[in-house]
Chains A and B, each alone.
Chain A
């Protein structure tokens, strides 16, 4: 019996091929090198995976793209997971990608490196963009889980260092898919409310996956855009996240953040006390300094006066000498004498003023004598 060969329509055949392929290749892992990558604004990614001999069309829809943390790039060797689908209109099969792992290193590690490089290029880590922390914040905002060791440690350290601190906690999940949304919202809340002077963003230690939320671009940008300074305190001392690079200050641990954010109150009291002491000391320095100056001036003045007086003294001596040279006494010294009538002081100039028997007094340089006039001429 002759069997007439079945004639397919294109659609029928394509449909059956689709059935077959999509049933067999439901969940496959394919490795290859990315080429012809296109990422239009729709958020979907189109590329080919190729090896030396073959090429496979791939599509990564936006809905799945969130699960692929790193950025795809031409030339990158990856292992993609997904299912084969047939696009009936073009009769083409392609891989609908759900997961992708870079070869050689973990995808989170790669994503971390890529984002770090990207944000560094944009200048988000620049020292010059970092805001200074307030010296003594009146109110401290804490973005972290409201339960567990982290908030307890922070409050404990604050209690110890600064009894009287004021903290406002904005509770968030710090792990899982919702974490990044909540952390971003919490930072934005504080900025919108403007009710804190500094923000501590904290989480306890964990694996790279656990800490992943702090490596998300949205969180990094929220920190960068915060007008309130942010201290990151994520994981242990050895954990570095993108948030740490963007934050205005990185604290190695949540407890350390509490040490950084506030000075110890006792140290402040000590400081004010020592400044007050210095004030008094300076006053007790300054007053004697001025007294010394007054003293010095007084001495200077009296020295000047006595020098002046000494000069005047010499001058006076000269005057006296000159006066003396004019004095009659000086003439007597040269052997002259002055004669007057006894009992009078007026000097005698003429013998005619005398009569016989007058008593006259003669003054010599040394001593006087009285004599009687015997005869006048």
Chain B
């Protein structure tokens, strides 16, 4: 997913842009990269869908993953 990586890159870019020792062309390039990274971070978060599963094992030891249903007697 690379969310963390993208977020870190974005933080680095913001830091770099504030450090001044950077050419105008380079800073505009970085700015554009930053906007793209922010966009992909948002998309990653938006795309995460809730899913709860439970592992069960058959008698021969095979692992099955099924949706988890909370017990009804709560």
Interface size class of B (residues with CB under 8 A): 35 or more
Q: A272 is contacted by which of B7, B13, B49, B63 (Cβ under 8 Å)?
A: B7
Nearest CB of B to A271, in Å: 7
Q: B27 is contacted by which of A138, A162, A283 (Cβ under 8 Å)?
A: A283
Q: Inside 8 A of A279's CB, which chain B residues have their CB?
A: 10, 13-14, 17, 31, 34-35, 38
Nearest CB of B to A289, in Å: 7
Q: B45 is contacted by which of A147, A186, A268 (Cβ under 8 Å)?
A: A268
Q: Inside 8 A of A162's CB, which chain B residues have their CB?
A: 48
**A152-B70, A169-B68 known; A282 vs B14 contact (CB < 8 Å):** yes
A134 at the interface (CB under 8 A from B): yes
A271 CA to B44 CA in the complex, in Å? 14
A43 at the interface (CB under 8 A from B): no
Known: A164-B48, A268-B41; 11 extra A-B contacts, CB below 8 A, are A136-B1, A152-B70, A159-B50, A163-B50, A166-B52, A279-B13, A279-B38, A282-B14, A282-B17, A286-B27, A287-B24
Instruction: Return the CB mask of B35-74 against A: 1 if under 8 Å, else 0.
Output: 1001001100100111111111000000101001011001
Q: How many residues of A contact B (CB 8 A)?
A: 39
A135 at the interface (CB under 8 A from B): yes
A290 CA to B31 CA in the complex, in Å? 15
Q: Inside 8 A of A285's CB, which chain B residues have their CB?
A: 18
Q: Are B20 and A171 in contact (CB under 8 A)?
A: no
A→B interface (CB under 8 Å) = 134-136, 138, 146-147, 152, 155, 159, 162-171, 186, 189, 193, 195, 265, 268-269, 271-272, 275-276, 278-279, 282-283, 285-287, 289-290
A285 CA to B42 CA in the complex, in Å? 25
Nearest residue, chain B, Cβ from A287: B24
Nearest residue, chain B, Cβ from A140: B52
Nearest CB of B to A259, in Å: 17
Q: B74 is contacted by which of A134, A152, A166 (Cβ under 8 Å)?
A: A152
Q: Are B31 and A272 in contact (CB under 8 A)?
A: no
Nearest CB of B to A159, in Å: 8
**A286-B17, A290-B24 known; A166 vs B31 contact (CB < 8 Å):** no
Q: Are A168 and B53 in contact (CB under 8 A)?
A: yes
